[in-house]
Amino acid sequence: MTGWSRRSFLGAAALVALQGAVPGGAQVLARLDPKDAPSPLRRKLMRTVADHVIPATDTPGAGAVGAGDFVLVALAHGLEGTRRPPAANPAFAPFLRADGSLDHAAWLEGKLGPKWLKLPPARRHDALAALDTAAFANDPAAAPWRAIKGLILTGYYTSEIGGSKELNYELVPGRFDPKVPVTPTTRAYSSDWTAVDFG
């Protein structure tokens, strides 16, 4: 995970705690600056996008656990550097805030188009997959998607469902096992932070 400092991580942790303190995050969203408060349509869009990134399996998907609302709050607070001015690109101009930063949620809404939510799930998935491919192939016009996707993952895996149901949780390992059998059903541990770089 790159681009995270200790301050960013603590800010994310505070947002997670705040998000988890109220059902659905509606009260947290209501406390945002009115310029950053999302419309019901934007909340639905982000919830649906989150569910496409992490769909429901034997555990609820990202939209169901509130990751979409988490992303909107995180974007308003500038996590993942989302309140810094973006690289110069004329395609971003309609989505810039007064301070010169990119409104990632507005950008995503514009990029997917007004009919995206009405498409069949397979076509919505294809549109997101194309955006994902472009973003991770370093297409500058799709770069904002990387921050949005990262925040969806953060919101999901720091939720109660993501951290304790989707992942295994063991606060203090009871013993050291040098050879642990790993099968396709083995889940990672949410309490294993050994591979995370906090900057």
Give the C-alpha distances (Å, rounded to integers) separating 139 from 80, 89, 145, 197: 18, 11, 10, 25
Q: What's this model's pTM, rounded to 2 decimal places?
A: 0.76
- Amino acid identity at 16: V
What SS3 class is residue 5? coil
List, for residues 114-156, the tens digit of each pLDDT value: 999 999 999 999 999 999 999 999 999 999 999 999 999 999 9
Residues 50-105 have pLDDT tens digits of 999 999 998 899 999 999 999 999 998 888 889 988 888 898 999 999 889 999 99
- DSSP helix/strand/coil, 189: strand
Q: Give the per-residue pLDDT at 176.
A: 72
Coil vs helix vs strand at 96: strand
